[in-house]
Every structure is written in C-alpha cells, then in structure tokens.
C-alpha cells in the first residue's frame, strides 16, 4: 500500500547520514550490530547477505553437496517477488519459501520429516547462524525443534521450507502442490499476486510502523553486480541517504522523500518497492531521506 503527499511537507531536521553511495563508502554507514536470539543463539542482522558481506560460498549460496554446518553459516529471508506473488519470502539465492498446511500454526512441530523432508528441505539454523531478514518483522520469526533435533525457522508460527524442484529465482513449482503447500508471505500467510494483495478490502502488508528497512541502489531490490544494499533502523527522526536509492524493502510502514531533510515529494510505503522512479511514487532520482510512518 502506498500513500502520497504533496511537496514541502517534511519532518523537522535531518538525522545523521546513513547508507553510503557506493560500497567503498560502506564504512560510513551505521554499524550493524547483531541481535542474538536467547533461545536459538542465532544472530539477527539488518540488511541483506551481500550488504553484510556474507561468504558467497556458504549459507544459502553454498553448493547442494555442502555439509549442514556450511549451509547454516547464514540464512537470508527477504520480502520480495516470487513468480508474480508479492510480497513473498525468498531466500538468499532468490528461491521461494513455502509453508505446509498440515503443520499446526504455533504448534511447535513439523509434520514433514523423512522422505517428505527430502522433497521439502526445512530451513534450519544453529547457534551462531547469521540471519538476515530485510522486509520481515523480527517478531514474525521464530524457531521449532524438528524430529532430527535440527532447529527450523518459522514465520508467523509456521515452519518454513524450500522445494527441491525449484532451481532458480522466481520458480514457484511447489505452489499449491497437493493443495497443502504454499509460498509464504512476510506475515506467515499465503502469498498472493501483487494486484490481489493490494485490493482495498485486504489489510496492507506490514501496516505497523517499520523498525528497519533495506535500501537498494538499483531497481528490483538488486543486491549484486553494480548494485548494493544497506539495512538501517527506522526511527521517529528524519534521516538522510547519501545518493538516491531506487528500490527498498521495509518491515512495516515507512515514509520516504525525494529530497534530503525529508523535503520534496513524499510517499508512505508498507511493502517492497521495486522502482521508486515509477508511478505512483515517481522519484526520478530515488529515495533520499526517510522516517518512521
């Protein structure tokens, strides 16, 4: 959901500068300290795997043959687009994330074990795993213990999985398999096509004020090649961005401006934005400042 306001309606004064204009300036951005979960020992960090300089040969991008301890170095759960479903949760490789209707919500168990788990690999973590979650509220993420003793991630109380036939970003071959498997959204519900998700009779995803947001220098939440991303806290004080950012992924409602100091044209967004220069936002130079909505 997006709400636009007229030019000149800005917040008071600009806060300290945050995301840098290129990767060489990343050291000028605020430090991203990990929040360690007391139950699991998992380290939660704002931003993406790339913006946190995660090892590209481990975690979600490790080879399929890699041992569990390598795959569990880091996990990314990002709000984005999965085969036209938006917002949907994808991992650090862009693969769609699913939930299983046989699993009881907040039940603390997974009903997919043995051969089922070979087709639907559980997303698991261990103590020391770095978990990046751009666009997902921290309180929506939890953990359960599986039959094999592994710690599985949950979103909205639902254990989450991948599908072994999905091979590339955007694949949703597991959607509606057996009428029981569905791509999950950041709230732990069924992800739906973007047009359906924004119908007036449905609540806006992430309607609460944002606590964090990830800004991307390129369109379509691109975090590789000549683009980069930075995750920041969102507070009730205007903060500037160095340069203009072309897409973003907040974990709730955030107000953005076309000029520094929370001036110029503004918009309130509560979900992923792939192109800030396009209608209805229309920021040709990208986002340059922001504040909690």
Residue-wise pLDDT tens digits, 157-203: 999 999 999 999 999 999 999 999 999 999 999 999 977 655 433 34
Q: What's the CA gap between 64 and 95, in Å, rounded?
A: 13
Give the mean pLDDT of 126-151. Answer: 96
Cβ–Cβ under 8 Å, residues 60 and 153: no
The sign of the dihedral angle between the CA atoms of 218, 223, 226, 232 is positive
Quickly state the pLDDT bin for 32 (edges 50, 70, 90).
Answer: low
Give the mean pLDDT of 116-126. Answer: 98
Show the tokens assigned to 196.
Answer: 């359906």
Cβ–Cβ under 8 Å, residues 273 and 213: no
Name residues whose C-beta falls within 8 Å of residue 21's C-beta, 6 or more positions apart in sequence: 217, 242, 243
User: Within a 10 A sphere around the Cβ of 131, how many other Cβ atoms?
Assistant: 24
Give the mean pLDDT of 260-265. Answer: 96
Q: What's the CA gap between 89 and 66, in Å, rounded?
A: 23
Cβ–Cβ under 8 Å, residues 189 and 157: no
Percent above pLDDT 90 for the chain: 74
pLDDT value at residue 129: 98
């Amino acid at each position: 959901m997006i709400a636009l306001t007229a030019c000149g309606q800005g917040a008071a004064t600009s806060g300290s500068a945050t995301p840098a204009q290129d990767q060489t300036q990343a050291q000028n951005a605020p430090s991203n300290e990990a929040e360690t979960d007391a139950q699991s020992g998992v380290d939660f960090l704002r931003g993406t795997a790339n913006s946190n300089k995660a090892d590209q040969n481990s975690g979600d991008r490790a080879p399929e043959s890699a041992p569990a301890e390598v795959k569990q170095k880091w996990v990314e759960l990002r709000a984005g687009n999965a085969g036209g479903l938006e917002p949907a949760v994808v991992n650090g490789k862009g693969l769609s994330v699913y939930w299983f209707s046989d699993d009881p919500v907040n039940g603390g168990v997974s009903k997919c074990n043995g051969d089922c788990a070979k087709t639907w690999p559980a997303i698991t973590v261990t103590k020391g795993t770095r978990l990046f979650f751009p666009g997902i509220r921290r309180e929506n993420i939890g953990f359960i213990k599986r039959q094999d003793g592994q710690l599985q991630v949950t979103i909205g109380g639902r254990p989450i999985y991948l599908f072994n036939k999905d091979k590339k970003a955007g694949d949703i071959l597991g959607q509606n398999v057996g009428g029981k498997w569905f791509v999950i959204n950041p709230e732990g519900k069924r992800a739906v096509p973007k047009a359906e998700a924004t119908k007036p009779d449905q609540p806006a995803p992430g309607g609460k004020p944002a606590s964090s947001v990830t800004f991307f220098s390129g369109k379509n939440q691109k975090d590789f090649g000549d683009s980069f991303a930075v995750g920041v806290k969102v507070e009730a004080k205007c903060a500037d961005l160095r340069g203009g950012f072309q897409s973003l992924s907040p974990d709730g409602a955030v107000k953005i401006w076309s000029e520094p100091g929370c001036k110029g044209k503004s918009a309130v967004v509560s979900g992923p934005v792939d192109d800030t220069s396009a209608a209805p936002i229309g920021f040709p130079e990208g986002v340059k400042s922001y504040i909690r909505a």
